[in-house]
A and B are shown apart, each in its own frame.
Chain A
Amino acid sequence: DTGVSQDPRHKITKRGQNVTFRCDPISEHNRLYWYRQTLGQGPEFLTYFQNEAQLEKSRLLSDRFSAERPKGSFSTLEIQRTEQGDSAMYLCASSQDFSEQFFGPGTRLTVL
Chain B
Amino acid sequence: KNEVEQSPQNLTAQEGEFITINCSYSVGISALHWLQQHPGGGIVSLFMLSSGKKKHGRLIATINIQEKHSSLHITASHPRDSAVYICAVLRTGNQFYFGTGTSLTVIP
Contact = CB atoms under 8 A, between A and B. Distances in A.
Interface residues of B, number: 23
B20 interface: no
B6 to A, nearest CB: 8
A65 interface: no
A102 B35 CA distance: 10
Interface string B19-47: 00000000000110101000001111100
Nearest to B2: A42
Most B C-beta atoms less than 10 A away, residue of A33, A89, A98: A98
Interface in B72-104: 86, 88, 90, 93-101
Contact of B96 (A45, A105, A106, A108): A45
B48 interface: yes
A72 interface: no
Contacts of B99: 42
Which of B30, B33, B41, B45 has the largest count of A CB atoms less than 10 A from its CB? Answer: B41
B36 to A, nearest CB: 10
Interface residue tally on A, bucketed by range: 20 to 34
Given A98-B31, A99-B48, A100-B48, A33 B41 contact: no
28 contacts: A33-B96, A37-B41, A40-B100, A41-B100, A42-B86, A43-B43, A43-B86, A44-B98, A45-B98, A56-B93, A89-B41, A91-B43, A98-B31, A99-B48, A100-B33, A100-B45, A100-B48, A101-B45, A102-B45, A103-B35, A103-B42, A103-B43, A103-B45, A105-B41, A105-B42, A106-B41, A106-B42, A106-B43
Interface of A: 33, 35, 37, 40-45, 48, 55-56, 58, 89, 91, 93, 98-103, 105-106, 108
Which 9 A-B pairs give the minimum distances between C-beta atoms?
A42-B98, A103-B43, A106-B41, A45-B96, A42-B100, A100-B45, A43-B98, A100-B48, A42-B86
